[in-house]
Amino acid sequence: MDHRYIPSNIDGQIKELQAARLQSWGRINKYRLRAILKYSGSAILDVGCSTGSYVRYLNKIGHKALGLDLLSDANWKNNKEKPYMVGSALQIPFTNRAFDTVLSFELLEHVRQPDIAIKEMYRVCRNNIILSVPDCELSPDMLKSGVILAHWRDRTHCNYFTTELIKNLLEQNGFQLELLTRINPIRPDYLVFKSLHIPDNLAKFLSRLTRRIPLRKQFFMSVLAVANKVI
């Protein structure tokens, strides 16, 4: 293996990755899953698969899915077929055009050379990639509110993408966008109700009600992209 792209502080990075997984990583996200079911082929590689939730689900419904991650996960052991592999997104251990679709969810912000990771995904896919990253474009409204998103303080993040930056990264590395959208809506209403000392359960209930207000402006946490390989 070429070690040029392996971070020198790998032990510290792995500890931070493990800590992050205890919070929210590895869960199936409905917005990403909709994109997978609509745009992916049958042979799928999930780069940065974490607990392997997408791999397990996709194999269950008839796809041929494999997962790759810098860390192994305890959940991998529960799958007899073992469709997982430890490896780096910067040097994907598969042959050219091995998969119809490559997935990469909330990975590129952790990679110090995202262009190399995208080139590797281009190499191993036949048709397209589906990826998501945190949306780091702070709107004037958010800046005025004094609130910033959690990924701005995440120590494992090396890159801070906007829709324009992720678009450029994909197009400069041989992909053509089919879909670029924001997902994972932010729910600021709950914070407002909690600031009024409203009990937790009631605050959650009221915040659900406010989501139904017509013409309500939405703020989002992530960017989702589907991009086709230009041959």
Express each pLDDT in 159-212 by its tens digit.
889 999 999 999 999 999 999 999 998 888 888 899 999 999 999 999 889 888
One-letter amino acid of 135: D
Query: What contacts 14, CB < 8 A, 6 or more positions away?
Result: 70, 71
pLDDT tens for residues 46-94?
999 988 999 999 999 999 999 999 988 887 877 666 799 999 999 999 9
pTM of the full structure: 0.81
Residue from 218, 188, 190, 184 nearest 204 by CA:
190
For residue 216, the surrounding DSSP H or E stretch is: none
State the DSSP code for 117. H
- How far is residue 95's CA from residue 76's CA, in Å, rounded to a whole number? 23
Domains of the chain plus CATH, in order, are 3-185+219-229 (3.40.50.150)
- How far is residue 52's CA from residue 72's CA, in Å, rounded to a whole number? 10
Residue from 131, 85, 69 nearest 104 by CA:
131
3-state secondary structure of 65: strand
Among all chains, which residue has been given the structure tokens 């207000």? 213
State the DSSP code for 57. H
